[in-house]
Structure 1
């Protein structure tokens, strides 16, 4: 009789199967199942649906005492301890479901809590030590709450829980001598990088469990080029509207186009984000703020156009006139008046004859400019407002960019 037939006889003696019962000689002691986990592939992480898809390998080992349960000695039942017996004959493959194996279930599966295993994953029974080894591959499709605060430089941590369904800790205990997953057979992912992994075998609610935790970091280059770069370009273009000549008639159209571009970018980002209010990504806050800046920009452009096209009969307020004259005076003092002073040719003989002559002529030129009455129009006021608004928007957008983007890049 073959060793396989002998083993099956012990499992099916008395016309009933013992495969659903834990093969322990002493039922008051829990069976110890050694476990290790191989991470094989990370297929996908979907932050919108909050799910992760990966492949892992479970390596389970336990001692099957079905022979001792019947009062027989292992060496007398199987003729596998003879000297010189080849290693290949010291163990045999047993189809799944023919002998006992843990009823493994992924507790936080998103599709269904189906039992792990199948006919493709056979068990190896060691005839010399009654040691059973089982290495099923598991397709994990599990829930994972995303944290997109620093998107696209985010880091996600996902936890999975396996247990033997229906067995308490007094019947079955998982044991492990590893605290991390084995990445020796891992196939790299183009979007995510595995930065850390943990494994533990706690007892929760009187059940021994296998808890697996992996931490993945997004590779941000693709998203930085396709999301952050267009936003930064639009931020620069948004303020350039005040350099566009008013006579071109394109100011309002240009500013509205910038505003709509921010709306399109925001919709693109929202499609990549989970529909949750906690947390909200910094990049969403930043895009909304830039969109508000663009809307304010459009409103101010309309007001500035109204100012530029006011009738000449409307009087410019005195405080605007004073400010514009002050700014023009400062500019002229730095440029025009300096050129006038430098252009004055003074002969050495003139200085010797009358030193006050040159000084007086320069002073009179300055006084003539400072006391010159220049009519200030609404067009002058609009041009000066362009300078103020450009500098204001440039400073405001720069400050907001630093406040929102710096925490992301410093992560």
Structure 2
């Protein structure tokens, strides 16, 4: 067995009988369990296909002594036991590898089998891909939260959850640097933006607490983003305003004097309560800047995760159905 993992094993057995027919044909059935190795392509893991080649050669006998040939069919699957992780797509001859080897002027016969396998996807979709996608969808919503402490707690929780799944998936992916797994690239990108969201939240908190005046460039940037995002100052940032009218007059009844036999005397007076003035709609603070920026980042992060996920799923689907 040329592709054996353990060693270059010899297909032989001391007590295996040989059958001789009246025509002089001698037949001998040889059997043995072998562990063979295959070069693994992990680019499309866990929706991958693998092609393995099993090669048998006559290293100790020349082609004139033993000539290896295929029967029809080339592989008998009558005793094949169904595997829970892999399914056989096709199996048969590999003519391109059936080359007669020459050594010291002698020719040696060889045959090769081609085995194409496809990984069963149900287990990996339910336990790896689907949970990772759902956790990734939570990342943009950190920009919809209010307090900075809540944002940081939420971001760290999502980041740690993602890190756990990355570790679990990395343990199941075959260790090789010959090809890069697309799922690993996807997880790395999502893990990166999850980490980036924490830095953005911390930096946004620092900027929102600034008390100096906003520069004209930042003011123009905020106004432009408000128009692009179609949000007003209050609806976008969740701020509450007090609507008041300086001309509004409230009438209150003020009791004057003491109560006598004829009753108390009351008089009407005009009372103008203290109202906060309208905020200047043209005024922009650093809190407004951070608020509008959060709305923009929510859209950017959400579209990034959706786009990368769709690209990954489309590549998987095309490869799996080929």
The TM-score, its normalising length taken from structure 2, stands at 0.74
Structure 1's unaligned 5+ residue stretches are: 1-105, 336-370
Correspondence list, 1:283-362, <5 A: 283-310=183-210, 313-325=211-223, 327=226, 331=231
2:13 maps to which residue? 118
2:182 maps to which residue? 282
Out of 122, 130, 136, the residue aligned to residue 221 of structure 1 is 122
1:245 maps to which residue? 146
**In the aligned structure 2, how far is the partner of 1:287 from the partner of 1:405?**
13
Contact 1:191 1:218 in 2 (8 A): yes
1:348 maps to which residue? none
Out of 72, 83, 86, the residue aligned to residue 189 of structure 1 is 83
Contact 1:202 1:211 in 2 (8 A): no
Contact 2:69 2:111 in 1 (8 A): no
State the SS of the aligned residue for 1:141: coil
Shift of 1:395: 1.6
**In the aligned structure 2, how far is the partner of 1:379 from the partner of 1:276?**
48
1:281-309 alpha-carbon deviations (Å, 9 max, x no partner): 11111111111111221111111111233
Shift of 1:195: 0.7
Out of 27, 34, 37, the residue aligned to residue 140 of structure 1 is 34
Shift of 1:119: 5.2
Contact 1:283 1:405 in 2 (8 A): no
CA RMSD, Structure 1 to Structure 2 (Å): 2.7
State the SS of the aligned residue for 1:410: helix
- After superposition, the Cα gap between the structure-2 partners of 1:245 and 1:385, relative to the gap in structure 1 and judged at 3 Å, is same
Contact 1:235 1:290 in 2 (8 A): yes
Structure 2's unaligned 5+ residue stretches are: 236-278
Out of 203, 210, 218, the residue aligned to residue 100 of structure 2 is 203
1:386 maps to which residue? 294
2:245 maps to which residue? none
State the SS of the aligned residue for 2:68: strand
Shift of 1:328: 7.3
- Report the number of matched residues: 266
Contact 2:88 2:115 in 1 (8 A): yes
- Higher normalized contact order (CA 8 Å, seq sep 6+, divided by chain length): 2
2:157 maps to which residue? 257
The TM-score, its normalising length taken from structure 1, stands at 0.59
2:169 maps to which residue? 269
> Which stretch shifts more, 190-199 or 169-178?
169-178
**In the aligned structure 2, how far is the partner of 1:180 from the partner of 1:374?**
82
- After superposition, the Cα gap between the structure-2 partners of 1:180 and 1:114, relative to the gap in structure 1 and judged at 3 Å, is closer
- After superposition, the Cα gap between the structure-2 partners of 1:372 and 1:390, relative to the gap in structure 1 and judged at 3 Å, is same
Which structure has the larger Rg over C-alpha atoms?
A: 1
